[in-house]
Amino acid sequence: MNLSRVLPLLCVAAFVMTGVSFADTPQPLAWNAQNSSTVPNQKGKSKYPSFSDSPKRDYADAVMLLPPPPGEDSKAFEIDKDIYKDNLKKYKGTKTWEDARLSARLDGNSIAAFFSDAMGIRMSREKTPKLLYLIENSLGDFLEPGNNAKRYYKRKRPYVYFGERTCSSVQDDQGHARDGSYPSGYSTYGWGIALILTEINPRRSNQILETGLRLGQNRVICGFHWQSDVDWGRTLASYVVAELHTVKKFNEALAEAKAEFEAAVEEQRQSKRFAR
């Protein structure tokens, strides 16, 4: 597959689904050959666990692959602001607000627990170590590509823009106040893990993808991200998953996780059988 041809089509499709035209945002630098030399490139090792963690590999670069975030006077940004204000009014102080706060943990056990119902088995470090390894070790692969765009665009987070609080703590709000908002790393990671888990358990793909979608949307509900941050984070995840399938170490881990999952399903089936 030629990713350089496929990716722009994925980006166009994702943008069309938002109902916003490309005229609402500046032209991406990656689509302007005259500016290509001005785009910073992120190379080297990730501070997070990663299958692609090698100085010889370049991480996917969101500055090169995604459009810039919506401009201040664009229709897309008006939509972002309306969604933020509607969510704040609808969810602040509710159980949904609290659920969004609790889903912000990116450690392996927390992500495994978040996806367990959708997978149909209990995933944990003790019971499914291969699945946990796959989830944990891909964190850097999904977060690093977006970090370059966060530094480059320095987009203000919605709670900073409006001077509000998020669903999280004051300390957490202060810690993220200067971090770029675009694209959402949570959305990239959550959607990427969902895509990988559907390969392992395609029979429950709808439940798994809905859960991955919810992980990203929780960041919009919480106030940490604009809707467009989350939408384009999912597009970036699709690229990263395709890239991961070219990495031998990832493919080996995926095969081991699949075998572990099938064994867990069989054990669960036998347990229910003898419990009758």
The DSSP-derived string for 162-196 is: HT---SS-HHHHHHHTTS--SS-HHHHHHHHHHHH
Give kind and range of the element (H or E) at residue 121.
none
CA distance 147 to 230: 14
Higher pLDDT pick, 8 / 108: 108
What percent of the chain lies above the pLDDT cut of 70? 79
pLDDT digits (tens, 9 = 90+) for 145-202: 999 899 999 999 999 999 999 999 999 989 999 999 999 999 999 999 999 999 999 9
CB 205 within 8 A of CB 195: no
The predicted pLDDT at position 61 comes to 83
Please report the pLDDT score of residue 40 as a whole number: 45
Do the Cβ atoms of 53 and 140 come closer than 8 Å?
yes
- What range defines the domain where residue 123 resides? 72-275
Single-letter amino acid, residue 101: R
What is the mean pLDDT of the segment spanning 234-253? 95
The total number of structural domains that make up the chain: 1
Give CA–CA dist 190/210, Å, rounded. Answer: 10
- Looking at the domain assignment, is residue 67 inside a domain? no
Query: Do 187 and 229 form a contact (C-beta atoms < 8 A)?
Result: yes
Residue 276 scores a pLDDT above 80 = no
User: Which residues, in sequence order, are CB contacts of 54 under 8 Å at separation 6+?
Assistant: 45
Per-residue pLDDT at 212 exceeds 70: yes
Mean pLDDT of all residues in the chain?
Answer: 84
d(CA 76, CA 119): 35
In a domain, 36, yes or no: no
Nearest to 143 by CA among 174, 113, 185: 185
CA dist 86 and 9 (Å) reads 31
The pTM score is: 0.82
Does residue 171 lie within any of the structural domains? yes
In a domain, 3, yes or no: no
pLDDT tens sequence across 189-207: 999 999 999 999 999 999 9
The contacts found for 244-249 with CB under 8 angstroms, 24 or more apart, are 244/51, 244/52, 244/138, 244/141, 244/196, 247/51, 247/52, 249/51
Q: 86-127, pLDDT tens digit by residue?
A: 999 999 999 999 999 998 888 899 999 999 999 999 999 999
The token duo for 82 is 């309306």
Asked whether residue 131 is domain-assigned, the answer is yes
d(CA 89, CA 113): 29
pLDDT grade, residue 274 (50/70/90)?
A: low
Helical ranges in 18-138 per DSSP H: 62-65, 75-91, 95-102, 108-119, 129-137
**Residue 122 maps to a domain:** yes
Domain membership of residue 112 (yes or no) is: yes
Domain-embedded: residue 64: no
* pLDDT at site 273: 63
Q: What was the pLDDT predicted at 198?
A: 98
- Find the CATH number of the domain harbouring 158: 1.20.144.10
Question: What is the tens place of the pLDDT at every residue in 19-70?
Answer: 443 334 444 443 333 333 334 444 555 678 899 865 445 667 899 999 999 9
CA–CA dist 146, 107 (Å, integer): 19
